[in-house]
C-alpha cells in the first residue's frame, strides 16, 4: 500500500538525531502532514498515551525511530531500563497500528540485535544464530522481539509492518555527551577538547581491535524514506555502507582530522563490545535501490566542523 503525500505520517523520535534529518527530507519530498510526538506530550511506554496519539493524529503510516540507547557504558549501566522502554514503546505502537488499520508501520531496529560472533558481513538470515554481545543484549533483544511482533502481525492481521537494521550512525547534530554518546561523537569531543587544552594524551576505551561500520545520518534518512515508499516485505533489511574500520584506525583518523597530535592511550580494562560489525547491504540495494553516498572521511569532516562550531572553545 502506498503512502500519499497528503497522508499523515507519525515519526516517533522525530526530534532526535536521525529524526531531524528524516523530517527535513520528508518535507522536501512533498509530504505535508508529519507529526512528531514529543516526550513531554506522549510517553510512548504508556499504552494510554499511544492510544491518544493514534486517536488525535489518525496516521496512515508510523515510522518508529524513538529509542532509549547509548554507547557501551550506558548500555552496561541501564540494561533493565533499555529493555523495558524499547520493548514497551514498540509493543504498544504496533498493537495500536493494527487496531487503527495503518497502511504502513516501519520499525527501526538495531545492529545490536545480531549475535556476538556473527560472520562478517552480517546477513539478515544470521539474526537468530546466537546471543548478542552481552553489554548490548537487553537493548538488542528488545528490538529483535519487535521484528517477531511485526512478522506475527503481518501473518495474522495483515499489518504491513517492515523492519530495518541500521548500523551505527554519525554526523552533525549527534549526541556528544561523553556519558551517553556512541564512539564517533565521543572521540570527536575528546580529541577536539584535548587539542584545545594542549593535552598530551587521550584515553580511549578497549584495545582498539574491534571493528565497526558507520552510516552517515543523511544517508540513513534517505534509506528510511526509500523503505517507507518501496519496501513491503516481512524480511528484515540491513541499512549500512558495507565498509568496515577498526576502532584504532577510526581513532587515528579522527585525531588527524581534528588536529590532535598527542598520544592515544588504550584502556584494555574497558570493554571492546562486539568484536566486528559490518553488514551485507545487498538486500537494500536490490529491494529499494539504496546505496550510501557519503564518503566516510567527508562525513567525519562535516561532523567535526559542526562540533567545533556548536561547541566553541
- The β-bridge partners of 35 are 10
DSSP-based helix, strand, coil % in the chain, nearest 5: 45, 15, 40
pLDDT on residue 273? 81
Determine the 3-state secondary structure of 161 from DSSP.
Answer: strand
Domains and CATH numbers, the chain: 8-171+213-243+277-295 (3.40.50.720), 183-209+245-275+302-310 (3.90.25.10)
Under-70 pLDDT residues of the chain: 1
Instruction: Give the closest residue to 143 by CA, choosing from 227, 86, 92, 64.
Output: 86
Q: Is 188 left (phi over 0), alpha (psi -120 to 50) or beta?
A: alpha
pLDDT at 1: 62
- Residue 308 C-alpha cell reads as 567545533
Provide the annotated active-site residues. 139
Instruction: Give residue 157's pLDDT.
Output: 98
pLDDT at res. 75:
78
Question: If phi over 0 gives left and psi between -120 and 50 gives alpha, with beta otherwise, what is residue 254?
Answer: alpha
Rounded Cα–Cα distance for residues 39 and 50 (Å):
11
C-alpha grid cell, residue 141: 533483544
Q: How far apart are CA 260 and CA 103, in angstroms?
A: 50
pLDDT of residue 313: 79
Residue 201 buriedness (CB in 10 A; 0-12 / 13-18 / 19+): exposed
d(CA 171, CA 185): 8
Give the pLDDT of residue 13. 97
SS (H, E, C) 217-260: HHHHHHHHHHHHHHCCCCCCEEECCCCCEEHHHHHHHHHHHHCC
Instruction: Tell whether the torsion through CA atoms of 177, 12, 9 and 226 is positive or negative.
Output: positive
Amino acid at each position: 500500500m502506498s503512502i500519499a503525500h497528503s497522508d499523515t505520517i507519525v515519526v516517533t523520535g522525530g526530534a532526535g538525531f536521525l529524526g531531524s534529518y528524516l523530517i527535513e527530507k520528508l518535507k522536501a519530498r512533498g509530504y505535508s502532514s508529519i507529526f512528531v510526538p514529543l516526550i513531554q506530550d506522549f510517553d510512548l511506554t504508556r499504552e494510554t498515551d499511544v492510544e491518544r496519539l493514534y486517536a488525535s493524529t489518525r496516521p496512515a503510516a508510523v515510522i518508529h525511530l524513538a529509542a532509549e540507547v547509548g554507547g557501551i557504558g550506558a548500555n552496561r549501566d541501564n540494561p533493565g531500563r533499555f529493555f523495558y522502554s524499547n520493548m514497551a514503546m514498540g509493543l504498544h505502537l504496533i498493537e495500536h497500528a493494527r487496531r487503527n488499520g495503518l497502511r504502513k508501520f516501519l520499525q527501526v531496529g538495531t545492529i545490536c540485535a545480531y549475535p556476538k560472533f556473527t560472520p562478517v558481513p552480517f546477513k539478515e538470515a544470521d539474526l537468530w544464530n546466537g546471543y548478542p554481545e552481552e553489554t548490548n543484549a537487553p537493548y538488542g533483544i528488545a528490538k529483535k522481539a519487535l521484528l517477531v511482533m511485526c512478522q506475527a502481525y503481518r501473518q495474522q492481521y495483515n499489518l504491513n509492518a517492515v523492519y530495518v537494521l541500521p548500523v551505527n550512525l554519525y554526523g552533525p547534530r549527534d549526541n556528544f555527551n561523553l556519558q551517553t554518546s556512541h564512539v564517533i561523537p565521543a572521540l570527536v569531543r575528546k580529541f577536539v577538547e584535548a587539542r584545545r587544552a594542549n593535552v598530551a594524551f587521550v584515553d580511549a576505551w578497549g584495545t582498539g581491535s574491534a571493528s565497526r561500520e558507520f552510516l552517515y545520518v543523511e544517508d540513513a534518512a534517505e534509506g528510511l524514506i526509500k523503505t517507507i515508499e518501496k519496501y513491503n516485505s516481512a524480511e528484515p533489511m540491513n541499512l549500512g555502507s558495507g565498509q568496515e574500520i577498526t576502532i584504532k584506525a577510526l581513532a587515528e583518523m579522527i585525531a588527524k582530522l581534528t588536529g590532535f597530535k598527542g598520544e592515544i592511550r588504550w584502556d584494555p580494562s574497558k570493554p571492546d563490545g562486539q568484536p566486528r560489525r559490518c553488514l551485507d547491504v545487498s538486500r537494500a540495494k536490490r529491494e529499494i535501490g539504496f546505496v550510501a553516498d557519503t564518503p566516510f572521511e567527508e562525513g567525519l569532516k562535516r561532523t567535526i566542523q559542526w562540533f567545533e562550531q556548536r561547541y566553541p572553545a
